[in-house]
C-alpha cells in the first residue's frame, strides 16, 4: 500500500503498493454477527476503531477540540484525506508528467531501457543521472505512508507490499519485517561482479558527485538493489505471498494502475470473501467488477 507509483521490474514494473490487514478483525467480526458481513459494513467497523477526529467533539471546549482530519469517518473520508498528500515523486506512466514521458533527454532507444539490466550493464550513466532525481532523502513520506504505519501501530497491518523503490515506507517507520519491497529499493546496493554490499549512503555520495558507483575491490558497477527488467523479484516476495494472502481479511490497494504482473494479480490472491478497496486517481485493473470490491 503506498501513495505514488514507483519503480518496477522483471515481469515489468510499475507503480505503487498494497497493504493487507489480518488476524484480529476476523475474530471480532465473527463475534459481532452479521452486522458487518458486507464489505462496506466491514470497512466502517474497521474505521470506527481508528478514533480519527472529524472535529465535531461537541462536549469539548473549542480550544480543546482536536484538529479536524476527516470530513467523515468512512472509508471515503479516509481516501479523500489520503489523496491530499503527495511526495512530489513523479510516477512512471502519467501522460506528460510521468518519468517515461520525460526521458527523451537521456537519448535512450526507448524509455524502459533505463531500467533494463542488459542496457544498464553496457551503459549505466542514464540510470544514475535519473537516480539523482529519485534518490531517497530528497522526498518525504506522505499521509499515505503514515496511514500504513498507523495501521501497523494499531496491530492491523499484516504486510505492506509495495512497488515503490524510494524507501519512504521505511522512513515513515514501517518495520522492515512488515515490508515486501517487490521491486527492490535504494536501501542497499551490490557490485554486479563480486556482489560486495554497499550502503545507500555510499552510493548516494558517488551519484551526487556525478560518478558511476564503482566497486573499489573489482571495479565493477555498483547497482542499487532495484529490480530491473530482466531480473527476478526478491525472494521475500515469493516467500511471504503464500503465507499472507490466505490470512488477509481486508486488502487495501493505493496508487497503482494494476497493469504490471505479477503485482497486479495480488488482488485475486486473497479469499473470495475478503473486501478489496482500491484508492487511485482513476479506475484501473479489473477490481470493482465483483460485490467484494470497492473503488475510490
Three-state SS for 245-265 is: HHHEEEEEEECCCCCCCCHHH
Sign of CA pseudo-dihedral 219, 221, 225, 227: negative
| CB-based contacts of 200, cutoff 8 Å, min separation 6 | 136, 167, 186, 187, 188, 189, 224
φ, ψ of residue 247 in degrees (nearest 5): -90, -10
Catalytic residue among 183, 187, 200, 238: 183
Let me know: does 25 contact 156? Beta carbons within 8 Å.
yes
183 is catalytic: yes
Distance CA 60, CA 65 (A): 6
Q: Determine whether the annotation assigns residue 240 to a binding site.
A: no
Residue carrying the nine cell digits 482513476: 282
Q: Determine whether the annotation assigns residue 218 to a binding site.
A: yes
- Provide the angle, in degrees to the nearest 10, between the axes of the packed helices 39-47 and 24-32: 110
Q: Determine whether the annotation assigns residue 295 to a binding site.
A: no
Binding site members:
191, 194, 215, 218
Just list the catalytic residues. 183
Binding site members for Zn(2+):
191, 194, 215, 218
Amino acid at each position: 500500500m503506498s501513495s505514488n507509483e514507483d519503480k518496477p521490474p522483471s515481469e515489468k514494473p510499475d507503480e505503487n503498493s498494497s497493504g493487507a490487514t489480518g488476524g484480529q478483525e476476523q475474530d471480532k467480526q465473527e463475534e459481532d454477527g452479521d452486522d458487518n458481513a458486507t464489505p462496506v459494513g466491514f470497512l466502517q467497523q474497521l474505521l470506527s476503531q481508528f478514533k480519527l477526529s472529524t472535529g465535531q467533539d461537541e462536549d469539548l471546549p473549542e480550544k480543546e477540540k482536536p484538529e479536524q482530519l476527516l470530513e467523515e469517518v468512512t472509508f471515503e473520508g479516509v481516501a479523500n484525506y489520503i489523496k491530499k498528500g503527495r511526495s512530489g515523486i513523479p510516477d512512471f506512466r502519467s501522460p506528460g508528467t510521468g518519468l517515461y514521458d520525460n526521458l527523451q533527454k537521456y537519448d535512450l532507444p526507448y524509455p524502459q531501457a533505463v531500467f533494463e539490466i542488459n542496457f544498464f550493464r553496457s551503459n549505466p550513466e542514464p540510470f544514475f543521472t535519473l537516480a539523482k532525481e529519485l534518490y531517497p532523502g530528497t522526498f518525504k513520506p506522505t499521509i499515505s505512508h503514515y496511514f500504513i504505519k498507523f495501521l501497523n501501530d494499531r496491530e492491523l497491518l499484516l504486510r505492506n507490499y509495495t512497488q515503490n523503490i524510494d524507501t519512504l515506507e521505511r522512513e515513515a517507520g514501517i518495520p522492515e519485517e512488515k515490508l515486501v519491497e517487490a521491486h527492490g529499493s535504494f536501501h542497499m546496493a551490490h557490485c554486479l561482479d563480486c556482489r560486495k554490499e554497499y550502503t545507500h549512503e555510499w552510493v548516494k555520495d558517488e551519484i551526487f558527485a556525478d560518478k558511476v558507483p564503482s566497486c573499489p575491490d573489482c571495479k565493477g558497477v555498483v547497482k542499487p538493489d532495484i529490480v530491473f527488467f530482466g531480473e527476478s523479484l526478491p525472494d521475500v516476495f515469493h516467500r511471504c505471498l503464500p503465507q499472507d494472502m490466505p490470512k488477509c481479511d481486508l486488502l487495501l490497494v493505493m496508487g497503482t494502475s494494476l497493469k504490471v504482473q505479477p503485482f497486479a494479480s495480488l488482488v485475486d490472491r486473497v479469499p473470495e470473501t475478503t473486501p478489496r478497496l482500491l484508492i487511485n486517481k482513476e479506475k484501473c485493473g479489473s477490481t470493482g467488477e465483483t460485490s467484494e470490491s470497492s473503488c475510490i
